[in-house]
Protein backbone atom coordinates (compact mmCIF):
# COMPACT_ATOMS: atom_id res chain seq x y z
CA UNK A 1 0.00 0.00 0.00
CA UNK A 2 1.31 3.42 -0.90
CA UNK A 3 0.99 5.74 2.07
CA UNK A 4 1.86 9.43 1.96
CA UNK A 5 1.15 11.73 4.90
CA UNK A 6 2.44 15.28 4.85
CA UNK A 7 1.85 18.29 7.08
CA UNK A 8 3.22 21.42 5.43
CA UNK A 9 2.87 25.20 5.19
CA UNK A 10 3.23 25.19 1.39
CA UNK A 11 0.37 24.81 -1.06
CA UNK A 12 -0.01 21.52 -2.93
CA UNK A 13 -0.95 20.37 -6.40
CA UNK A 14 -4.07 18.18 -6.49
CA UNK A 15 -3.21 16.97 -10.01
CA UNK A 16 0.22 15.77 -8.91
CA UNK A 17 -1.17 13.89 -5.90
CA UNK A 18 -3.87 12.26 -8.01
CA UNK A 19 -1.26 11.26 -10.58
CA UNK A 20 0.72 9.60 -7.79
CA UNK A 21 -2.34 7.54 -6.83
CA UNK A 22 -2.98 6.67 -10.47
CA UNK A 23 0.60 5.43 -10.88
CA UNK A 24 0.46 2.91 -8.00
CA UNK A 25 -0.43 -0.05 -10.20
CA UNK A 26 -2.70 -1.20 -13.00
CA UNK A 27 -4.82 -2.81 -10.27
CA UNK A 28 -6.23 0.63 -9.36
CA UNK A 29 -9.77 0.98 -10.68
CA UNK A 30 -11.06 3.93 -8.67
CA UNK A 31 -9.58 6.98 -6.99
CA UNK A 32 -11.63 9.18 -4.71
CA UNK A 33 -10.27 12.55 -3.62
CA UNK A 34 -11.46 15.17 -1.18
CA UNK A 35 -10.21 18.76 -1.11
CA UNK A 36 -10.98 21.04 1.84
CA UNK A 37 -10.71 24.80 1.42
CA UNK A 38 -11.00 27.89 3.63
CA UNK A 39 -14.50 29.44 3.65
CA UNK A 40 -14.99 33.18 4.06
CA UNK A 41 -17.96 32.83 6.41
CA UNK A 42 -18.30 30.81 9.62
CA UNK A 43 -21.32 30.92 11.92
CA UNK A 44 -22.45 34.12 10.23
CA UNK A 45 -19.15 35.98 10.68
CA UNK A 46 -16.87 37.11 7.90
CA UNK A 47 -13.63 35.14 8.10
CA UNK A 48 -10.48 36.87 6.87
CA UNK A 49 -7.95 34.19 7.80
CA UNK A 50 -7.06 31.03 9.67
CA UNK A 51 -3.99 30.04 11.62
CA UNK A 52 -3.44 26.31 11.89
CA UNK A 53 -1.24 24.65 14.45
CA UNK A 54 -0.36 20.95 14.89
CA UNK A 55 1.60 18.57 17.11
CA UNK A 56 4.60 17.64 14.93
CA UNK A 57 5.16 13.90 14.93
CA UNK A 58 1.95 12.90 16.65
CA UNK A 59 -0.29 14.29 13.92
CA UNK A 60 1.51 12.39 11.16
CA UNK A 61 1.48 9.20 13.25
CA UNK A 62 -2.27 9.54 13.90
CA UNK A 63 -3.10 10.03 10.23
CA UNK A 64 -0.95 7.01 9.37
CA UNK A 65 -2.96 4.90 11.84
CA UNK A 66 -6.24 6.20 10.44
CA UNK A 67 -5.15 5.08 6.95
CA UNK A 68 -4.14 1.67 8.35
CA UNK A 69 -7.58 1.28 9.95
CA UNK A 70 -9.25 2.20 6.66
CA UNK A 71 -7.14 -0.41 4.88
CA UNK A 72 -8.44 -3.09 7.25
CA UNK A 73 -12.06 -2.28 6.37
CA UNK A 74 -11.80 -1.52 2.68
CA UNK A 75 -9.53 -2.29 -0.25
CA UNK A 76 -6.94 0.50 -0.16
CA UNK A 77 -4.10 0.30 -2.68
CA UNK A 78 -2.85 3.75 -1.74
CA UNK A 79 -3.71 6.83 0.29
CA UNK A 80 -2.39 10.37 0.28
CA UNK A 81 -3.17 12.90 3.00
CA UNK A 82 -1.78 16.42 2.88
CA UNK A 83 -2.72 18.97 5.53
CA UNK A 84 -1.53 22.53 5.60
CA UNK A 85 -0.61 24.52 8.72
CA UNK A 86 0.33 28.15 9.30
CA UNK A 87 -1.55 31.17 7.96
CA UNK A 88 -4.30 30.46 5.43
CA UNK A 89 -6.84 32.69 3.73
CA UNK A 90 -10.31 32.24 2.20
CA UNK A 91 -10.06 30.17 -0.96
CA UNK A 92 -6.82 28.47 0.11
CA UNK A 93 -6.58 24.71 0.07
CA UNK A 94 -6.28 23.20 3.57
CA UNK A 95 -6.53 19.45 3.26
CA UNK A 96 -6.34 16.77 0.59
CA UNK A 97 -7.35 13.14 1.05
CA UNK A 98 -7.02 10.74 -1.87
CA UNK A 99 -7.65 7.00 -1.82
CA UNK A 100 -6.99 4.52 -4.62
CA UNK A 101 -8.83 1.18 -4.62
CA UNK A 102 -9.71 -1.65 -7.00
CA UNK A 103 -13.32 -0.48 -7.11
CA UNK A 104 -15.01 2.86 -6.50
CA UNK A 105 -17.10 1.78 -3.49
CA UNK A 106 -13.99 1.18 -1.38
CA UNK A 107 -12.37 4.41 -2.56
CA UNK A 108 -15.47 6.48 -1.70
CA UNK A 109 -15.91 5.00 1.74
CA UNK A 110 -12.26 4.84 2.78
CA UNK A 111 -11.75 8.47 1.71
CA UNK A 112 -14.74 9.67 3.72
CA UNK A 113 -13.68 7.57 6.71
CA UNK A 114 -10.14 9.01 6.66
CA UNK A 115 -11.47 12.57 6.46
CA UNK A 116 -14.11 12.08 9.19
CA UNK A 117 -11.54 10.47 11.48
CA UNK A 118 -8.93 13.15 10.82
CA UNK A 119 -11.45 15.86 11.76
CA UNK A 120 -12.11 14.44 15.22
CA UNK A 121 -8.78 12.74 16.07
CA UNK A 122 -5.78 14.35 14.42
CA UNK A 123 -3.97 16.99 16.50
CA UNK A 124 -4.64 20.15 14.50
CA UNK A 125 -6.07 23.36 15.93
CA UNK A 126 -7.62 26.23 14.00
CA UNK A 127 -7.62 29.83 15.08
CA UNK A 128 -9.97 31.94 13.06
CA UNK A 129 -9.69 35.64 12.35
CA UNK A 130 -13.30 36.81 12.03
CA UNK A 131 -14.71 40.32 12.31
CA UNK A 132 -11.19 41.50 13.21
CA UNK A 133 -10.87 39.15 16.19
CA UNK A 134 -8.88 35.95 16.61
CA UNK A 135 -10.62 33.00 18.25
CA UNK A 136 -9.83 29.31 18.66
CA UNK A 137 -12.45 27.12 17.07
CA UNK A 138 -14.21 24.44 19.09
CA UNK A 139 -15.24 20.95 18.01
CA UNK A 140 -18.41 20.85 15.92
CA UNK A 141 -21.08 18.36 16.93
CA UNK A 142 -21.69 17.62 13.24
CA UNK A 143 -18.08 16.38 12.96
CA UNK A 144 -18.54 14.10 15.97
CA UNK A 145 -21.84 12.84 14.52
CA UNK A 146 -20.17 12.21 11.15
CA UNK A 147 -17.74 9.82 12.82
CA UNK A 148 -20.46 7.83 14.56
CA UNK A 149 -21.67 6.39 11.26
CA UNK A 150 -18.40 4.43 10.97
CA UNK A 151 -18.71 2.76 14.34
CA UNK A 152 -18.90 -0.99 14.29
CA UNK A 153 -20.16 -3.17 17.13
CA UNK B 1 25.27 14.90 30.41
CA UNK B 2 24.02 12.47 33.02
CA UNK B 3 21.62 14.79 34.85
CA UNK B 4 18.43 13.77 36.59
CA UNK B 5 15.77 11.95 34.58
CA UNK B 6 13.47 14.47 32.94
CA UNK B 7 10.22 14.50 31.06
CA UNK B 8 9.27 16.88 28.30
CA UNK B 9 5.94 18.67 28.72
CA UNK B 10 4.24 20.35 25.75
CA UNK B 11 1.25 22.68 25.49
CA UNK B 12 -0.67 23.44 22.31
CA UNK B 13 -3.15 25.96 20.92
CA UNK B 14 -5.38 27.70 23.49
CA UNK B 15 -3.58 26.02 26.42
CA UNK B 16 -0.24 27.33 25.20
CA UNK B 17 -1.73 30.82 25.11
CA UNK B 18 -3.44 30.56 28.50
CA UNK B 19 -0.18 29.47 30.15
CA UNK B 20 2.09 31.62 27.93
CA UNK B 21 4.25 28.52 27.65
CA UNK B 22 4.81 26.01 24.86
CA UNK B 23 7.20 23.51 26.45
CA UNK B 24 9.22 22.75 29.54
CA UNK B 25 11.55 20.09 30.91
CA UNK B 26 10.49 18.72 34.26
CA UNK B 27 12.50 16.40 36.54
CA UNK B 28 10.80 13.05 37.13
CA UNK B 29 12.67 10.21 38.78
CA UNK B 30 9.79 7.78 39.27
CA UNK B 31 6.51 7.04 37.49
CA UNK B 32 3.45 9.05 38.53
CA UNK B 33 -0.04 9.40 37.07
CA UNK B 34 -0.92 12.28 34.80
CA UNK B 35 -3.21 13.65 37.54
CA UNK B 36 -0.28 13.63 39.99
CA UNK B 37 1.94 15.23 37.38
CA UNK B 38 -0.54 18.09 36.99
CA UNK B 39 -0.42 18.68 40.76
CA UNK B 40 3.40 18.60 40.74
CA UNK B 41 3.62 20.97 37.79
CA UNK B 42 1.22 23.42 39.42
CA UNK B 43 3.16 23.25 42.69
CA UNK B 44 6.60 23.75 41.20
CA UNK B 45 6.14 25.82 38.07
CA UNK B 46 4.83 29.34 38.53
CA UNK B 47 3.41 29.52 35.01
CA UNK B 48 1.28 26.36 35.34
CA UNK B 49 -2.30 26.63 36.47
CA UNK B 50 -3.93 23.46 37.79
CA UNK B 51 -7.33 24.76 36.69
CA UNK B 52 -6.20 25.15 33.08
CA UNK B 53 -4.66 21.66 32.84
CA UNK B 54 -7.40 19.77 34.66
CA UNK B 55 -10.33 21.37 32.80
CA UNK B 56 -12.86 18.81 31.51
CA UNK B 57 -12.12 19.31 27.82
CA UNK B 58 -8.31 19.13 28.06
CA UNK B 59 -6.80 16.17 26.21
CA UNK B 60 -3.59 14.47 27.30
CA UNK B 61 -1.09 12.53 25.22
CA UNK B 62 1.85 10.56 26.58
CA UNK B 63 4.50 9.68 24.00
CA UNK B 64 2.09 10.87 21.30
CA UNK B 65 -0.82 8.61 22.26
CA UNK B 66 -3.99 10.00 23.87
CA UNK B 67 -4.43 8.75 27.45
CA UNK B 68 -6.62 9.38 30.51
CA UNK B 69 -5.46 11.13 33.69
CA UNK B 70 -4.84 7.84 35.52
CA UNK B 71 -2.15 6.89 32.96
CA UNK B 72 1.32 6.35 34.41
CA UNK B 73 3.99 8.75 33.15
CA UNK B 74 7.49 7.26 33.14
CA UNK B 75 10.78 9.20 33.33
CA UNK B 76 11.87 10.14 29.81
CA UNK B 77 8.30 10.47 28.50
CA UNK B 78 6.86 13.25 26.40
CA UNK B 79 3.59 14.55 27.85
CA UNK B 80 1.33 16.93 25.93
CA UNK B 81 -1.76 18.89 26.96
CA UNK B 82 -4.13 20.31 24.35
CA UNK B 83 -7.74 21.32 23.65
CA UNK B 84 -10.16 19.32 21.44
CA UNK B 85 -8.88 19.14 17.88
CA UNK B 86 -10.31 21.23 15.03
CA UNK B 87 -8.43 20.30 11.86
CA UNK B 88 -9.62 19.39 8.41
Query: pLDDT of A91-135, one tens digit each?
Result: 999 999 999 999 999 999 999 999 999 999 999 999 999 988 999
Residue B85 is nearest to which of A94, A115, A121, comparing CB atoms? Answer: A121
Residue A122 is nearest to which of B14, B80, B87, comparing CB atoms? Answer: B87
In chain B, which residues have pLDDT < 70? 1-2
What number of CA atoms fall less than 13 Å from residue B62's CA on the CB side?
18
Three-class SS state of B40:
helix
Asked if B34 has any chain A CB less than 8 Å from its own CB, the reply is: no
A125–B87 C-beta distance less than 8 A: yes
Residue A58 is nearest to which of B61, B87, B88, comparing CB atoms? Answer: B61
Q: Find out whether B73 and B62 touch, Cβ atoms under 8 Å.
A: yes
- The closest of A7, A21, A38, A61 to A130, measured between CA atoms, is A38
A83–B64 C-beta distance less than 8 A: no
pLDDT for the residue A43: 84
Rounded to an integer, what distance in angstroms lies between the CA atom of residue A23 and that of residue A17?
A: 10
Asked if A136 has any chain B CB less than 8 Å from its own CB, the reply is: yes
Cα distances from A26 to residues A32, A62, A72, in angstroms, run: 16, 29, 21
Which of A35, A50, A55 to mutate: most B Cβ within 10 Å?
A55
pLDDT tens digits, chain A, 153 residues: what are they? 999 999 999 999 999 999 999 999 999 999 999 999 999 998 888 999 999 999 999 999 999 999 999 999 999 999 999 999 999 999 999 999 999 999 999 999 999 999 999 999 999 999 999 988 999 999 888 998 888 899 886
Residue A136 is nearest to which of B13, B64, B80, comparing CB atoms? Answer: B13
Three-class SS state of B54:
coil
In B, which residues are within 8 Å of A125 by CB distance?
12-14, 82-83, 85-87
B10–A125 C-beta distance less than 8 A: no
Amino acid sequence: MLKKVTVQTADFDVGKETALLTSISKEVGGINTFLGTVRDVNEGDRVTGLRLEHYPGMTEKQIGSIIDRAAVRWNVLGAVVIHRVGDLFPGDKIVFVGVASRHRGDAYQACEYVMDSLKTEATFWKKEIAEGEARWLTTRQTDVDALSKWQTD
Amino acid sequence: MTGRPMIKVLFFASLKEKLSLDALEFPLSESITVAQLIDELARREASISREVLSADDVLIAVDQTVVTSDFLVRPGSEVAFFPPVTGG
